[in-house]
Structure 1
Amino acid sequence: MKKLLLITAFLSTILFAQDHTFESKDDRVNIIELYTSQGCSSCPPADKWLSNLKEHPKLFKDFIPMAFHITYWDFIGWKDVFATKSNDNRQRYYSSKVWKKNSVYTPQFIINAKEYRTWFTNQSFPNFKNQYGGKLNINLNNNKLQVSYFNKNIKNQKIYLNVGILGFDYEINIKRGENKYKTLEHDFVVLNHIQKFAEIKNNKLEIDTTLFNLEKNNKKKALVIWLSDYNSEILQATGGYI
């Protein structure tokens, strides 16, 4: 996604006053991406499955789920309130550039940049393979974000730094479209996502940056950071509730 650096517009208007520190283990933390839409009648079961992971004991330790809402079903009659064109582009990039395919669909699960169709068979939780990922540490204080990473297997390499804010506990009353009259519940919603160029030098990455401000509300949020290479391979991730 070399051309997709700024993923979503910034929201406003508060700072994160608390200090938050998160650290990965040495094994790779797995990334679960769900591409979904409030205008898709097949999506609510996938959204519910993702929501059920909120209380999983290995959440943020072994895996991080994220729901990217897309816009291309908005024409059916209901505009998804969380959808962005950049999420559409991200999904299409996977399909065309990573997997060499020419179609996208919802709901679609992607695990560590690979299509995960097994969910449609039994909706079971995936079996993750242990893989070294290096040590990723992040600290957030007053919107100042410090990221440090060490990987014994990567001496020098240009990569992507991904920063995401996830929202939880949303209930949306759908008034039109395929899910008309339903109240849909959403968690792990990607509210903001930016992607920046970064570079590992001498096995290390050190970045200081300013995090975007967020709209003030009473919803639970989480900060997630993940590193990926130019082939979309997930290197490491960490995060947690803020």
Structure 2
Amino acid sequence: MNGWRGMLLGGGLLMAIVTQPLQALTLQSPVERVNLLELYTSHGCSSCPPADAWLRKLESHPGLWQRLIPVAFHVDYWDNLGWPDRFASPAFSKMQRDHQRQGAIRSVYTPGFVLNGREWRQWFYRPQLDLQASEEVGALTLQVEPGTGATLQFSPEPHLNGVKLEAHFAILGFGLSSPIGGGENHGKTLKESFVVLSHTQTPPQQGEWRFPWPQLSVNDAERLAVVAWLSRPGNSEQVQAAGGWLP
């Protein structure tokens, strides 16, 4: 798939590798803040597949990457129900608990949506995104060398000059298929996109952030994308986000 293959390493770990040189790319946000939609989900949660299916449809959203960036974090706190989620991470569960601690959400549950750092319960009764015009915060540029690393640069508007920000870098998988052999979703094959396969976060700083290329835990994605966003320390709301497809 476009130069990506997988190989088995010691212990059965799957690692995505570059089998031929991949084109470096530059992705840039508009000056207006891009909407970041987070879904907290799990293969062990019987009410999550409808939310995952709805998120998949956002691949065709006309504002994808320039107005809207969706990401799906798989939590691990339902793994004891009989089927461990292959995408789950304790770090993603902690991110959701941090949202609660910071006042962004009232409780920790799945499926749980967070839109621009605030709990978004509208999905449960009217799953339609209403993306209003955002404030001007500055352009975020993501320079990616697949297999090597990524650099993130921010040109802030004056009201954000001198503010130290945390940076997040994630690789997303699309067209993933997971047969479920136990638990609440036993017998189902779950189709998913926007799945966070890798997430890295930096300490607060200004101007520029660098990320090494991560190891990936799966190799069966039909397509990959990269996304990055900035946030203030201790604040769930993103300052700016950028993303796009890998070649």
Whether TM exceeds 0.5 here: the answer is yes
- CA contact 2:169–2:211 (8 Å) conserved in 1: no
Following superposition, the deviation at residue 156 of structure 1 comes to: 1.0
Specify the code of the residue in structure 2 equivalent to 1:54: E
| 1:83-162 superposed matches below 5 A | 83-99=88-104, 101=106, 103-142=107-146, 143-152=148-157, 153-162=159-168
**3-state SS of the aligned residue for 1:181?**
coil
| 1:228 and 2:231 matched | yes
Identify which range, 207-216 or 141-150, moves more after superposition.
Answer: 207-216
Runs of 4+ residues over 4 Å off in structure 1: 215-218
C-alpha distance in 2 between matches for 1:91 and 1:13: 27
Aligned 1:1-242 pairs, distance under 5 A: 12-15=15-18, 17-99=22-104, 101=106, 103-142=107-146, 143-152=148-157, 153-200=159-206, 205-214=207-216, 216-217=219-220, 219-230=222-233, 231-242=235-246
Give 1:217 shift. 4.9
Kindly provide the amino acid, as one letter, of the partner of residue 126 in structure 2. N
The alpha-carbon deviation at position 12 of structure 1 amounts to 3.2
What do you get for the CA RMSD once the two structures are aligned?
1.9
The sequence identity of aligned pairs, in percent, is: 39
Runs of 5+ unmatched residues, structure 2: 1-12
Normalised to the residue count of structure 1, the TM-score between the two structures is: 0.88
Is contact 2:105–2:119 with CA below 8 Å preserved after alignment? no
SS of residue in 2 equivalent to 1:92: helix
* Kept after mapping to 1: 8 A contact 2:104/2:117: no
Contact preservation (8 Å) 1:14, 1:216: no
Aligned-pair CA distance for 1:170: 0.8
Once the two structures are overlaid, the 10-residue window that deviates more, 190-199 or 137-146, is 137-146
* One-letter amino acid matched to 2:124: F
Which piece of structure 1 moves more, 140-149 or 71-80?
A: 140-149
Query: TM-score when scaled to structure 2?
Result: 0.86
The residue type equivalent to 1:61 in the other structure is Q
CA positional deviation for 1:100: 7.5
Are the aligned partners of 2:27 and 2:143 in contact in 1 as well (CA < 8 Å)?
yes
AA matched with 1:115: E
Partner SS for 2:187: coil
**Deviation per residue, 1:11-48 (Å, 9 max, x gap):** 73524732111011011011100000111111111000
Instruction: Out of 27-36 and 190-199, give the one that drifted further.
Output: 190-199
User: What amino acid is aligned across from residue 188 of structure 2 in structure 1?
Assistant: K
Q: CA shift at 1:209, angstroms?
A: 3.8
Q: Which runs of 5+ in 1 are unaligned?
A: 1-9
CA 1:218–1:191 in structure 2 vs 1: closer, same or farther (change >3 Å)? closer
Aligned positions, number: 228
Decide which moves more: 90-99 or 125-134. Answer: 125-134
> How big is each residue's C-alpha offset from its partner over 1:27-84, in whole Å with a ceiling of 9 and x where there is no partner?
1011100000111111111000100011112100101000001111111111111111
Instruction: Find the aligned partners of 1:119 and 1:100 in 2 and give their Cα distance.
Output: 15
Separation in structure 2 between the aligned mates of residue 150 and residue 21 of structure 1, nearest angstrom = 15
